[in-house]
């Protein structure tokens, strides 16, 4: 029996690495015209390559976007065409090759596209919201669907997704999430943790995560132990964050090998950054429940896949990169005649939630991923013994 825990999460909305990155580009003529020979525009009629210029949108300065985020097997959509006679036409393609000047596809097209016509897609080489970090040599393995058999030691990880990458050489090699400065909480004990698998094919190296603010860095304990089953890297709590943030506020999970060529390959999932400010466990970075759920009250259910859909350009688009086996969860538990201390601390978390902050729930239900970002509701069922220091209530937690 493990007591449940809860923290106020920094908004890592893709902390389980369930969807990819939106990519944008524009059609560009090749250096040699196709046999169709249309001057000033490019058509891949009967071929399978689109030359492109990158369109960064709000990511100006992020070079090599398509080669970093798009990989074979991903899908792109070209169009709408602006070429006379094909105005408004779209066509979808499967990618089989990406370099800095063209995208190779598995099929040709019967549509002619003019220079400047848009190319969009979802790249699964790097998770959405994250960017690659490379100081040595980084090779992205992309978003991976892992299916494990060690249920006793890898709870909740069947048909879930992780990010995989390989870092070689010294320096940080991995992925980074940049926070907005208005998400920074000063004078706070932050806690970091995640679940991982690890292989070191050559040399030596380690896997770690790091929360960076100006003048303060909080790192998890480095791990060098190869593990085949999913294992949690214990959360780390550093000193209080500075009272005033600087220009840098980000999280990165990374490897570092030896300068002589050490190579490290991790799968990483369900990373979290949290704090427990104003609770009884503030200095620990996470609040541990004072009581355990009532016998038989722990329940869960999956959320309909339709909640993964959003409207884009008048079309429904899945945020998930996988099929319907990717699930989100709701968890509920009842607490009967427990200390009012627990209920008071949960009220603190509800106050943080009212400020727009996500919560992180750590639980022990074997069939559900062990930590969930989401929202909580509390239903009081008995206040009759409140004066005696006990109460009863039910919590419901929905993953976001």
Same domain membership, residue 147 and residue 117? no
Please tell me whether residues 273 and 348 are part of one structural domain. no
Q: What is the full per-residue pLDDT of the chain (400 aa) written as tens digits? A: 579 999 999 998 889 888 888 888 888 876 443 444 444 455 555 556 777 776 654 443 345 668 888 999 999 998 898 888 889 998 898 998 888 888 888 887 878 888 888 889 889 999 999 999 988 889 998 988 765 444 445 554 555 678 999 999 888 999 999 998 888 888 899 999 998 888 888 888 899 998 888 766 787 777 888 888 788 888 888 888 888 777 788 999 999 887 667 789 999 999 999 999 999 999 999 999 999 999 999 999 987 654 444 444 434 444 444 444 457 899 999 999 999 999 999 999 999 999 999 999 999 988 788 889 999 999 998 866 666 788 999 999 999 8
Pair (147, 263) in one structural domain = yes
Asked, for residue 122, whether it belongs to a domain, the answer is yes
Q: What are phi and psi of 150, to 5 degrees?
A: -85, 70
Q: How many domains does the chain have?
A: 3
Question: What's the farthest any 2 CA atoms get from each other in the chain?
Answer: 86
Residue tagged 């009863």 (tokens): 392
Evaluate whether 285 touches 190 at the Cβ level (below 8 Å): yes
Question: What CATH number does residue 53 fall under?
Answer: 2.40.10
Among the candidates 98, 126, 154, a domain finishes at 126
Range of 192's domain? 5-18+129-278
Same domain, 188 and 307: no
Q: Is residue 184 part of a domain?
A: yes
HEC sequence for 217-268? EEECCCECCCEEEEEEEEEEECCCCCCCCCCCCEEEEEEEECCCCCEEEEEE
Same domain, 143 and 87: no
pLDDT confidence of residue 1 = 57
The kind and range of the H/E element at 154 are none
Residue 70 lies in a domain: yes
Same domain, 70 and 151: no
| 138 shares its domain with 249 | yes
Residue-level pLDDT at 273: 94
The CATH number linked to 13 is 2.60.120.260
Q: Is residue 293 part of a domain?
A: no
Task: Indicate whether 143 and 254 sit together in one domain.
Answer: yes
Residue 295 CA from chain centroid, whole number: 33
- In-domain check, residue 288: no
Residue with tokens 């036409």: 89
For residue 67, report the phi and psi dihedrals to the nearest 5 degrees. Answer: -70, -25
The answer to whether residues 73 and 121 belong to one domain is yes
DSSP SS3 for 345:
helix
| Centroid of chain to Cα 292 | 30
Residues 81 and 144 in one domain: no
């Amino acid at each position: 029996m493990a007591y449940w825990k809860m923290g106020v999460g920094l908004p890592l909305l893709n902390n389980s690495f369930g969807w990819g990155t939106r990519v944008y580009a524009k059609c560009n003529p090749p250096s040699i015209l196709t046999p169709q020979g249309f001057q000033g525009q490019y058509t891949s009629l009967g071929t399978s390559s689109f030359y492109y210029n990158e369109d960064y949108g709000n990511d100006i300065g992020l070079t090599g976007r398509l080669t970093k985020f798009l990989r074979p097997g991903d899908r792109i959509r070209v169009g709408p065409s602006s070429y006379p006679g094909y105005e408004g036409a779209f066509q979808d393609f499967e990618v089989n090759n990406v370099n800095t000047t063209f995208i190779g596809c598995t099929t040709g097209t019967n549509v002619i596209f003019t220079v400047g016509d848009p190319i969009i897609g979802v790249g699964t080489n790097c998770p959405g919201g994250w960017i690659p970090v490379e100081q040595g040599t980084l090779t992205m393995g992309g978003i991976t669907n892992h299916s494990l058999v060690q249920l006793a030691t890898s709870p909740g990880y069947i048909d879930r997704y992780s990010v995989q990458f390989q870092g070689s050489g010294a320096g940080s090699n991995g992925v980074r999430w940049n926070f907005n400065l208005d998400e920074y909480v000063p004078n706070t004990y932050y806690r970091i943790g995640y679940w991982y698998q690890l292989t070191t094919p050559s040399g030596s190296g380690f896997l770690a995560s790091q929360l960076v603010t100006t003048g303060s860095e909080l790192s998890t304990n480095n791990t060098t132990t190869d593990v085949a089953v999913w294992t949690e890297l214990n959360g780390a709590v550093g000193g209080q964050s500075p009272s005033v943030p600087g220009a840098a506020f980000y999280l990165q999970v990374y490897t570092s090998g030896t300068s002589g060529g050490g190579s490290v390959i991790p799968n990483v999932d369900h990373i979290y950054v949290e704090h427990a400010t104003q609770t009884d466990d503030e200095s620990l970075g996470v609040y541990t429940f004072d009581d355990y759920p009532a016998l038989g009250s722990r329940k869960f259910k999956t959320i309909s896949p339709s909640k993964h859909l959003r409207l884009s350009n008048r079309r429904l688009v899945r945020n998930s990169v996988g099929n319907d086996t990717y699930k989100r969860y709701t968890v509920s538990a009842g607490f009967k005649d427990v200390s009012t201390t627990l209920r008071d601390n949960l009220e603190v978390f509800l106050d943080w939630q009212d400020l727009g902050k996500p919560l992180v729930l750590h639980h022990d239900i074997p069939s559900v991923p062990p930590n969930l970002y989401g929202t909580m509701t509390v239903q009081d069922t008995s206040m009759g013994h409140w004066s005696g220091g006990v109460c009863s209530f039910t919590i419901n937690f929905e993953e976001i």
